[in-house]
Structure 1
Amino acid sequence: MKAAVCRSFGQPLEIEELTIAEPGPGEIKVRLAACAICHSDVTLAEGGWGGELPAVYGHEASGIVESIGAGVSKAKPGDHVVVTLVRSCGSCHYCSHDIETQCDASFHLDANSPLSGSGDEAVSQGLNTGAFAEQVVVEQSQVCVIPKDIPLDSASILACGVLTGFGAVTNTAAIKPGSQVAVMGCGGVGINSIQGAVHCEASRIIALDLLDEKLELARQFGATHTVNSTDQNAAQQVIDLSEGRGVDYLFVTVGAKSAIEQSLGMLAKGGTAVIVGMPASGVMAQYDPGEFAAAGQSIIGSKMGSASVSRDIPELVKLYQAGSLKLDELISGRYALDDINDAIASVQRGEALRNVVIF
């Protein structure tokens, strides 16, 4: 099996032949059709969150089930599936409270990567998935069967970019119709937060980004107003656009300290800042808790859009089929696995909503 392996942080990935294990009980082997590149993969490859090397990253994938282990009930060979990083047991404290992204159960794959090199060296399965490869073996809770007429390249983006951005709005914040919303960062996750705000019937959706071309894209996906966040008066522009009060919800979809700190000055009284993008480990942001308390404001985190794989992906598929959710338009470029470093470089330069590796 061919895979793109990270052997040294910050260096190009190496295309190698790896061995992948057969699925064990409760596990599924999927032959991948596509894997989109999320900025989390880039942060990992740069060493921003540490981790074990060598490793195969990639966690936003789709493909066709090849084989299943004993006890698998969620898919069968031949099914088309979206493959996510979310492993959930369905019965722990968090799963029983509908917080599957925080499941604290232990799985066989947590300690036993299915990947190994030519010399039987262990290769880490990055973000529970290792999808910069032709095949993956994952726990059955990580997959969701989709209709076979859904294009698999577009479907791959459902695994993280859409779940995270759309879900931050609809699940984590559960915004009310008529809310005034701002989204900081118009990459793949931010654009899907905009789509989530449209779905929830926000009255005003203000997109912020460093690049004017990203702001133009944001309008195509439903933003009603745009602000270039490099402008010195960007915060005041957001306040002015939201009837002089500030926004009810602000979604920070980039993992940058400056964006997090800047966002807090754009909130209305009683407003909520939702931290969606994850900075590198050790990055600290500052705010005045007294001002926050006096204004009755909140800061909340959103991991993977507080998503349930089995609940949310089928609903997103229905929206796509009805023409209410754009997926095809999110793909900026398609790359062969051998060209993955070019695809990643494009993401690092901020050029892409989603680049997709096609197998």
Structure 2
Amino acid sequence: MSKITIQAAVCRQFGSPLSIETLTLAPPTAREVRVNLAACAICHSDIIYADGGWGGTPPIVFGHEAAGTVVEAGADSGIAVGTRVVVTLLRSCGGCIPCQHGAPTLCEDNFDPLTRLYDINGKPVAIGLKTGAFAEQVVVDSSQVATIHNTLPFTEACLLACGVLTGWGAVVNTANVPPGASVAVVGCGGVGVNCLQAASIAGASPLVAIDLSAEKLKSAEQFGTTHTILANADDYGEQAQHITGGRGFDYVFMTAGSAKAAEQAASLLATMGTLVLTGMPPDGDLARINIADVAQGQRRFLGSKMGNSHLRTDIPKFLRLHSEGRLKLKELIASYYPLVDINRAMDASRRGDALRNIILFDNS
């Protein structure tokens, strides 16, 4: 099949508004699928990238938290046309050392370096975060999609692609939080509240939400928190110590994209406590940590990329938990925007006004 024409939000210059442009999309190769998108959530990673925090060379199409319907499938994709799917940035070859050791989020295969997007002059447009989902359609590797059932709205399904995978996976896959552990979550955006959801179901107690925004702390209360703390309160440390009886927390999840937040999170750890770093600050942000305190208290620092998730096994778990009423999705959504209003949606997310804003596509 020849290239098709789509509408997409293109970053022509970091820090500037995205422009809605007509692009052409190349057909999928044997392992790939083409997906007609219905919805794409805005993640803070998209904002950091669009603001120049992670480098790259524009023009670029961002967006990586999407859902839609497969409309074309390569011969080796193993996916049928018409399948409803979540589309993620997780791309795995299955054969490299990380993939063979159960860590597909760390896949070392570079895959095909060629773009699938071109502007009206035939010049290539880069695909941000391996997905490029601020567009009506995407072409992605078959490992980047997972099937969803017909009853789950695309607007809720897209949230599974990153925010839920990352937050839930950090608690369950990376940290394996046991019942009764004390847990604090620093940063209560889309990833943070999913850390709270997972820790609540795991039986964590106390379960404390920490954020600079009183509004976000209010929202966090519906995801299982037992206490909330304003991160800029004068008695921030005293509150945390009081809640834990002076011990500190067994597990602290840092989901904010800030080195200062990492330092603050580290200060909350109990002896033998674990800090899980899921937040992605801009490149070059460095945190100051008291190494002697880490060693003497036998504290652990764990990195967690996309929650160490396994797409084909984790997504079915989420679908089951949601059908049982135990996983909240609709409650994560603040507002819906058409693609033409993506800059307004990005600005609202940039200000921290919302957990997740959703882009809806006309062709869905």
| Structure 1 and Structure 2 fold alike (TM over 0.5) | yes
Provide the secondary structure at the position in 1 that maps to 2:267.
helix
Tell me the equivalent position of 1:173.
175
* Aligned counterpart for 1:213 among listed residues 215, 219, 222: 215
132, 135, 144: which is aligned to 1:133? 135
Alignment correspondent of 1:183: 185
Partner of 1:284, secondary structure, is coil
Q: 1:338 aligns with which of 329, 340, 343?
A: 340
| Residue of 39, 43, 46 corresponding to 1:38 | 43
Residue 306 in 1 paired to residue 308 in 2? yes
Q: What per-residue deviation string (whole Å, max 9, x for no partner) do you get for residues 8-62 of structure 1?
A: 0000000000000110010000000000000000000000000121000000000
Q: Distance in 1 between matches of 2:151 and 2:353?
A: 29
Structure 2 counterpart of 1:43, one-letter code: I
Query: Which residue of the partner structure matches residue 324 of structure 1?
Result: 326
Which amino acid is 2:169 matched to? G
Tell me, yes or no, if structure 1 residue 101 matches structure 2 residue 105.
yes
Structure 1 residue 140 displacement after superposition = 0.2
Whole-Å Cα distance in 2 between the matches of residues 306 and 194 of structure 1?
17
Q: CA deviation at 1:265?
A: 1.2
Matching residue of 1:82: 86
- Counterpart among 3, 7, 12 of residue 2 in structure 1: 7
The number of aligned residues is 356
**Cα shift at 1:236:** 2.2
Between the aligned partners of 1:217 and 1:231, the Cα distance in structure 2 is 18
Match of 2:250 among 248, 251, 263: 248
Partners in 1 of 2:295 and 2:92 — Cα distance?
35
Say which of 12, 15, 18 aligns to 1:13. Answer: 18
Runs of 4+ in structure 1 deviating by more than 2 angstroms, as ranges, are: none
Question: How much has 1:211 moved relative to structure 2?
Answer: 1.1
Match of 2:122 in 1: 120
For residues 147-170 of structure 1, the C-alpha deviation after alignment (integer angstroms, 9 at most, x for no partner) is 011110000000000000111001
Deviation (angstroms), 1:238: 1.0
Q: Is this contact kept in 2: 1:181–1:205, CA < 8 A?
A: yes
Q: Which amino acid aligns with 1:56?
A: V
The equivalences for 1:279-294 within 5 A come to 279-294=281-296
Aligned equivalent of 1:238? 240
Q: Counterpart of 1:232 in 2: which secondary structure?
A: coil
Question: What's the offset of the Cα at 1:308?
Answer: 0.7
Measured in 1, the distance between the counterparts of 2:11 and 2:110 equals 25
* Contact 1:236-1:266 within 8 A present in 2 as well: no
Cα shift readout 1:168-207 (whole Å, capped 9, x = no counterpart)? 0011111111100000111110000000101211121100
Residues 252-271 of structure 1 aligned to structure 2 (within 5 Å) = 252-271=254-273
- Measure how far apart 1:232 and its partner are: 2.1
Displacement, 1:235?
Answer: 2.1
Q: Deviations over 1:220-269 (max 9, x none)?
A: 11111000001122122112101210000000000111111111111100
- 1 CA distance for matches of 2:150 and 2:33? 18
Q: Which runs of 5+ in 1 are unaligned?
A: none
